[in-house]
Amino acid sequence: MDLHEFDEWGPEKVVSVSDSRTGMRGVLVIDNTARGSGKGGTRMAPGVTVAQIARLARVMTWKWAAVDLFHGGAKAGIRWDPASPDKEAVLRAFVRRLADQIPSSYVAGLDMGMTEADAAIIQDELGDRGAAVGVPEELGGVAYDKIGVTGHGVAESVDAALALLGRPTAGARVSLQGFGAVGLAAARRLHELGAVVIALSTSEGAVHDPDGLDVPHWLALRAEHGDACVKLAPAQRVPAGAELLVDCDVLIPAAVQDVIDEPTAARIRANLVVEGANLPTSPAAESALAERGVTVVPDFIANAGGVVAAAFAMDARYSPFRPDPAAIMATVAAKMRANTELVLTESRRTGVLPRTAAMRMAQDRVRTAMALRGRLPRSR
């Protein structure tokens, strides 16, 4: 990331660290703290770059503002294979190098390649319960994946969007790209709401049944066999990526970023796309979908359930009491539904893309906070 890529919003701080003994290479990006301290997950992957982490930190700035909670955008990344036997040593080296930043400027969390046990290691390395959120329940943490906060919020966003579009959720055909923590929880909640999941995928492949998949059965298979669960249904197997293109009412990309480009958008047959993953759709693809009458609920609106739970966890870091899961889920549902309705209504009123409407709302909130703190550029 070059200095010319910095803009009026940030980033405020980019800290790169390394450790010659373990081979660790990492980066912390604090994007904007006008509305509160920087907060975002910590990612571990072989392909981590400074530009990628900066991009994700900016998403967090808008996500916190859009959900109207008082933290700012930040993200951290470690360039390492999370399956490596040296993961713990690399993680400890990373947080040691950032001991002057964690938790004073940044509180570590969970993202790709990181687990609850890793969050506990971060707390242990720095000897501070405030150093990380996402730790196991046994250490007072919020069990994000167990209660399925992000996926639950995505499902509530789907339900709210369908209601606004005048379509019932009961009987709506849904395709899920991704059947990890987000996709699994979304499938579970959508099944409760009466939707019909007709396709899903994991890193091992995809399955499709136009008459509907048995969601409780697939939840059990996923729990027992992980991503390999899709290999247990050869009659329903379809090529990887086909789950994006099946005939359905709702498509939920809930795996990785940059999966829907313009050519793919031209082949999508859903009427509603609700982004469970971060940045799954390119700007050109969003415009192409809008031209075809396909509504897209953007990522930082639909998948912000995780930040709601993180806000509870941040508040409880030094408390002897665990946050109440029921209170978390109720707040997630209320926030996701209200923001989905607000953004889609504003999009319809102004004739702009939902992402544009959402960005305007988030930017207005951040700009107001910057003005109140005296952070806006002086007029010349």
Please provide the distance, in angstroms rounded to a whole number, between the alpha carbons at the two ends of the chain. Answer: 28
What value does the CA radius of gyration of the chain take, rounded to a whole number of Å?
20
349 close to 342: Cβ distance less than 8 angstroms: no
Residue pair 68/366 in contact by the 8 Å Cβ criterion = no
335 is catalytic: no
**276 neighbors 339 (Cβ within 8 angstroms):** no
Q: Find, among 43, 57, 80, 67, the residue nearest to 5 by Cα.
A: 57
Q: Which of 13, 39, 63, 75 is catalytic?
A: 75
How many C-beta atoms lie closer than 10 Å to residue 267's C-beta? 9
Beta strands 196-202 and 205-208 are: antiparallel
E strands in the chain: 13-19, 24-32, 38-39, 42-45, 72-79, 106-107, 173-177, 196-202, 205-208, 237-238, 250-253, 272-274, 295-297
354 φ/ψ angles, rounded to the nearest 5 degrees:
-55, -40
Sign of torsion, CA 172 153 302 175?
Answer: negative
Residue 349 CB partners (closer than 8 Å, separation 6+): none
Number of Cβ within a 10 Å radius of residue 373 = 11
Instruction: Give every CB contact of residue 256 below 8 A, 6+ residues apart in sequence.
Output: 178, 277, 280
Task: Name the residue among 137, 132, 176 with its Cα closest to residue 273.
Answer: 176
Residues designated catalytic: 75
